[in-house]
Amino acid sequence: MANLLLFITGSFFKLCSFSLLILFLISCSSFPSTEAYDPLDPNGNITIKWDIMSWTSDGYVAVVTIYNFQRYRHIQAPGWKLGWTWPKKEVIWSMMGGETTEQGDCSRFKGNIPHCWGVLNSWAQDPATAASSFQLSVGQSGTTNKTVRVPVNFTLKAPGPGYTCGPAKIVKPSRFVTPYGRRETQAMMTWNVTCTYSQFLAQEAPSCCVSFSSFYNDTIVPCSKCACGCQNTSQPGSCVESKASHIAPVANSYTPLVRCTSHMWPVRVHWHIKLNYKEYWRVKITITNFNYNMNYTQWNLVVQHPNFDNLTQSFSFNYKSITPYTAINDTAMLWGVKFYNDMLLEAGPLGNVQSELLFRKDKATFTFEEGWAFPSRIYFNGDNCVMPPPNVYPGLPNSCSHQLTSALGLLVTLLAAMALLFGHA
């Protein structure tokens, strides 16, 4: 009887454990994924709009438009690549404004197989260049709203991985205004696809680091040593010495070829506290490119600092406030002036851009103590830069003396207390 009771009890506990495990897995899968959530751009996404403009004898003609609704993350060279799976045996007869890598099931037809790519700017930086569209003629498809089939398994590379696309959703047909604005036309059918970005899914290390300096301290806080890998002395050519007289250009190569440094980052952002006035203070920002294989066109910088609500002037960069949470204005987007410094050139004497920022002091919050004057977060081209640890920030010159005075005061107090105690004894 005891053995039977023991067996039943053991089976009960195993069943409970198994049930708890199943319940845990179900509960975990029920929570929405937050991998793609960006606290500075919580609603940012890339939306793909597929508009069927007319029907043909064996399919349709569609205009596909890609909108970059991300505030500061843009798609740079070599550009985006859009993919999907046809639900049946559809083929692409022709395309305007884009090219395809796979035309479809062309076993019964003859045709060329080219490729497709493009560059998109960020929405906040330049909305006019934040969209791209192409037209395609699809055959072997449905010819009405009821018989056409929506493509599945959309993928977006921009230019590498990192984007996750949801399923296509049929929406209200798009309406278009003619060039002269006299009348409107309407698509026969429209579906949307939403893609979101995650730096974690991209499986890439950050592309930039941050260094600090100030006028009140001789200490220069560099980018963390070997943070992006150390120089590989056993493999010549893994980086380029700054004294190299000539570097052979590499055609159509986007693989980073960086200058040999202690940190090995392709891009460094330096924040220097330059001057202190009675009612204002000034900062100099320098962005340096250590990559010999990349010019960063239409670059941008996102900086988070509590004093941006009192920014008075940006001298050589364009500025726009980013307020994901309307009650707090502590984030700014900076980018270059067109035809002046909107391109960060490849590594070399001209491979940097810089500007100064003038802030008005808020007497209630302003201080140079405890690293307050340094930013809490910096993004370059949408990627989070690696910041120095707070314990190495340049401190005020008298901070050590304050600590020493406090320590001496505490020691004197302890000695006086001990003397008083022994005196009474």
Share of the chain above pLDDT 70, in %: 74
Q: Are residues 219 and 145 part of one domain?
A: no
Residues facing residue 212 across a β-bridge: 221, 271
* pLDDT band for position 253 (cuts 50, 70, 90): low
Beta strands in 323-419 (DSSP E): 331-336, 343-344, 352-360, 377-380, 383-384
pLDDT at site 24:
36
Write out pLDDT tens, residues 139-154.
999 999 999 999 999 9
User: Does 128 reside within a domain?
Assistant: yes
What's the confidence (pLDDT) of residue 226? 72
The residues, ordered by sequence, that sit 6+ positions from 202 with a Cβ below 8 Å of its Cβ are 160, 161, 162
* Distance of alpha carbon 370 from alpha carbon 394, whole angstroms: 9
Within-domain flag for 396: no
Judge if 266 and 156 occupy the same domain.
Answer: no
Tokens linked to 357: 């920022």
Same domain, 100 and 131: yes
Which helix (H) or strand (E) segment holds residue 165: the answer is strand 163-165
Distance, in Å, from the CA atom of 422 to the CA atom of 425, rounded to the nearest integer, reads: 5
Residue 133's H or E segment, with its range, is: strand 131-139
Are residues 165 and 303 located together in one domain of the fold? no
Q: How do residues 84-124 score in pLDDT, each as one tens digit? A: 999 999 999 998 876 544 444 434 433 333 334 478 889 99
Indicate if 284 and 136 belong to the same structural domain. Answer: no
In a domain, 362, yes or no: yes
**159 or 59, which is more confident?**
59
Check whether residue 180 and residue 298 sit in a common domain.
Answer: no
Residue 189 maps to a domain: yes
Instruction: Determine the pLDDT at residue 293.
Output: 86
Burial of 74 (0-12, 13-18, 19+ CB in 10 A): buried
Predicted confidence at residue 352, as pLDDT, reads 95
Give per-residue pLDDT as tens, 164-206. 999 999 999 999 887 777 888 899 999 999 999 987 777 666 7
The answer on 337 and 275 residing in a single domain is yes
Could you tell me what percent of the chain has a pLDDT over 90? 48
Domain with 296, as residue range(s), is 206-233+256-391
Instruction: Dump pLDDT digits (tens) for 308-342.
Output: 999 999 999 999 998 867 778 899 999 999 999 99
Q: How many domains does the chain have?
A: 2
Same domain, 109 and 126: yes
The model's pLDDT over 274-298, given as tens digits with 9 standing for 90+, comes to 999 999 999 999 999 998 888 998 9
Q: What is the pLDDT of residue 329?
A: 85
Six token digits for residue 296: 């960063």
Give CA–CA dist 214/208, Å, rounded: 20
Measured distance CA(116)–CA(97) in Å, rounded: 9
* DSSP codes joined into one string, 54-76: EE-SSSEEEEEEEEE--SS--B-
330: domain CATH number?
A: 2.60.40.290
* Among the listed residues 375, 357, 376, the one whose alpha carbon sits nearest the alpha carbon of residue 283: 357
φ and ψ at residue 353, rounded to 5 degrees? -135, 150
SS3 22: helix
Chain centroid to CA 212: 22
Nearest alpha-carbon partner for 108 in 91, 94, 84, 87 = 91
Residue 30 covered by a domain:
no
Query: In 165-307, which residue ranges form alpha helices assigned H by DSSP?
Result: 199-202
Q: What is the pTM of this model?
A: 0.76
Q: Does 243 fall in a domain?
A: no
